[in-house]
Amino acid sequence: MTTQTSSPPRADAGDLLPGLSRRSVLLGGAAAAGLAGLSPADARAAVGDLVSRGGVFAFGVASGDPTATEVLLWTRITPVPHAVPGSGRGPARDVHWEVAADEEFTEVVQRGRTRTSAERDHTVKVVVGGLTPYTRYWYRFRVRRDVSPVGRTQTSPDEPGTTHALRLAFASCSNYTGGYFTAYRGIARRDDLDLVLHLGDYVYEYGNEPRRPGVPGSGDRYGPDALIGVRDHEPAVEMVSLEDYRVRHALYKADPDAQAAHARHPWVVIFDDHEITNDAYDTGAENHEEQDDPGTPYTGPGQPDGVRPEGDFLERRARAFQAYLEWMPIREPEHWDPQPHQGIQFFRRFSFGDLADLSVVETRQHRSQQVPAVVAGAVNPALADPDRQLPEPEQLAWLTSGIRGSAKAWHLVGNQTVFARVLSTGGPAGAVFNTDQWDGYQADQAAVLAAMDDAPTADAVVLTGDIHSSWAIDLPVDPGAYRTGDDAAGGSSAGVEFVCPSVTSNGFREILGSAAAAQRSTAAFQGRNPWIRYLDGIGHGFVVLDVTPERVQADFHFIRSGGDKGFDVDPRLDPEATTAHETSYVTLRGSRRVSGPVAELGPRSDGPRSASRR
C-alpha cells in the first residue's frame, strides 16, 4: 500500500473536474469491448488500446473498508501509454488526491499526495483519516493535469450512543464472459446504500476456448456461447502469471457498470476461489496441475516439456494475492486490525454502533483439501474429522469469540460458501450436496453453530455467495430435530443465512438446461431440507440487506430482459437489461429464524450526513 505524505502541494480547483461523465462511461465500455476475441500475443496491445481510449484513469476510482473516521481510496494510473497493466513498465509518479464535502469540490476537507510505480502495477491506495462518522464525501485523483472521475463515498454509521439503520447490498460471482454486469448497474443506481459487500469470485480465471460438445476436457470458456467474441477474457488463456492476473483485473475494472458501482459506494471485498483458480485449498486446487502425465508431456510455448503453465501452486497463489491486493479497494488488514493468524490475514471486522458487527471471513488460504461426500456407498466419515479445517484455527477462534462476545443486536458474517447443512436429494441418508461448502468441514461448522446458539445478545446472520442462486435459510444446530413453522421460535435454529444470486455466473437454470428443470430441482432441495425457507435457481442479481434493532430484511433483486428473469430469455445477454425486486424475507430479533415473504423495503429511517458547511 502506498502512503500519504504530509503538507502536499495545494491543487487549484480549476485543474480538477468533478463528476463521472457520460463520456468516461462510454469510453470505458468501448475500451472493454475492444479487448474481446484477441489472441494472447495481442493482449498487451489490447490493454494499451483501452488505456489510449480511457486515458490516465481508464480503470476508474473506488473506495472501501470504511470505518467511522476512515475510508480507503483506490485508483490505477497509466503515466505513459506503454505502462499498461501487467507490463511492469512506466515511470513512478506522484498522485494527488482530494476529499471534499461537496461534489463541486468547493469545500475540500482533506488532500494529500502519494506515489506509485510499476512495482505495484501503478495502482494507488490511500487511507484517509480524520473524517466525521456517517458522513458522505466526494473524492478524486490528479496526476499532473490529468484528473480522475469523481467518486462518492461515506464513513460508517458507527457512533457510540446513536443507533443508525444499516443498509447494504451484497453480491458475488461476476464472471465477465457470463454476461453483462447489469447487477452492478442496479447497485450503482441506488442512493440508499451504506456499502457494497462483495463475497468473492469478483474475477474468473478461465480462458476463451469454447467447449466442444461430447469432447471431455475441451475448452475452458465459462458462459453462454452467444457472448463469444462479445465478452471475452483477456488474456485469452487461463490466468497464471502475475501479468495474467493484473490484466484480468484490469479488464473487469474497465467494465462501465463495475466502474459506476465502485464510484458510487464504498465496498468491502473478500476473495473466494476463482480469484486464484477453481476449488482452491491450502496446497492446490481442482483447476491447477503442476505437471502433465509423463506420457503426454506439455510442449506449449515457453514451457519445458512435461510442465504445465500452472507451475507451483503456492507461487501461483502468491501472484493472485498480489494482484488482488493491488487492484481491489481492500486494506492490507495486518496493518489495520491485526489478529493471530497464519499466512496473510484477510479476515477483518467492522462495527456499526450498537446495532451490528460484520465479520468478514476468508476460507480458501488454509482449508484442507475437499473430500468426497460418499465413500463406498456410505457418508464419508472424513467430513466430520476435527483435524480438517476451513479457516485456520486462529481465525475460527476469532470468529466464534466475536459472535459469543458481541453486545450488539446482530452479528453479520460475510462468508464465501454456503454455511447451512444442505442434504443431497439422492444417495445415502445424511449425504451432503457439496463438500466445498461448510458441510465438507463439519467440525468447524459445528463450532460456529455452537457459538451462534450460545450467543447471549447478538443474533447471527450469515451472508453468503458462491452457489449462483438465492436462498433464505434457518440454521438448525441439529437438522434431525428441526421444527418447521414461523411459530417455532428459537431452540432448534441458531441463526439465519441469506445467499445472494450470482451477478452472471451459471445457476441452476443454465446447468440443468431450463427454468422448469431448475424449479423442479429447487423444490426437491427444499423438500429434503425443510430449513431452506426460500430457494430460487433462475434469477441473477444482488441482495439489499436492511438492519434495524428489530429485524434484518433481505430484498432479492434480479436482472430482467423485457420483464423476464430467465424463463424464456437469458437476461445476461441483454446489454439493456434492468433490475427489479423479486421477493423479500426477514428475521425478527430473538427468533433466529426466517419469516416471509414480506413487502419490499421502503425509504430508510435515516441516512448519512452531508459534510458540507453550506
List own/partner pairs for 379-382 with CB under 8 A and 24 or more apart.
379/428, 379/429, 379/430, 379/431, 379/432, 380/435
Cell numbers of 170, please?
Answer: 451484497
Looking at residue 611, what is its pLDDT? 82
DSSP letter for 307, please: B
Looking at residue 68, what is its pLDDT? 97
pTM across the whole model: 0.90
Helix (H, G, I), strand (E, B) or coil at 88: coil
When pLDDT is cut at 50, 70 and 90, the band that residue 442 belongs to is very high
When pLDDT is cut at 50, 70 and 90, the band that residue 26 belongs to is very low
DSSP letter for 408, please: S
Distances (CA, A) of 330 to 177, 271, 346, 354: 25, 11, 9, 24
- Each residue of 152-195: pLDDT tens digit? 999 999 998 889 999 999 999 999 999 999 999 999 999 999 99
DSSP letter for 501, please: P
Fold classified for 349-550+557-572+585-598: Purple Acid Phosphatase; chain A, domain 2 (3.60.21)
Looking at residue 54, what is its pLDDT? 73
Looking at residue 9, what is its pLDDT? 28
Lowest mean pLDDT among 89-93, 215-219, 403-407, 491-495: 215-219
Cell numbers of 121, please?
Answer: 502495477
The Cα–Cα gap between 269 and 251 comes to 18
Question: Hey, where are the domains in the chain?
Answer: 13-313, 349-550+557-572+585-598
Looking at residue 212, what is its pLDDT? 80
By CB neighbour count within 10 A (0-12 exposed, 13-18 middle, 19+ buried), where does 447 fall? middle
Lowest mean pLDDT among 136-140, 182-186, 478-482, 594-598: 478-482
Cell numbers of 370, please?
Answer: 475437499
- Each residue of 31-41: pLDDT tens digit? 333 333 333 44
Distances (CA, A) of 449 to 42, 297, 452: 50, 47, 5
Q: CB of 219 within 8 A of CB of 290?
A: no
The Cα–Cα gap between 71 and 48 comes to 31
Number of other residues whose CB lies within 10 A of the CB of residue 154: 24
Looking at residue 215, what is its pLDDT? 78
- Each residue of 598-609: pLDDT tens digit? 999 999 988 898
Query: What is the distance in angstroms between the CA of the first residue and the CA of the last residue of the chain?
Result: 35
pLDDT above 60: residue 397:
yes
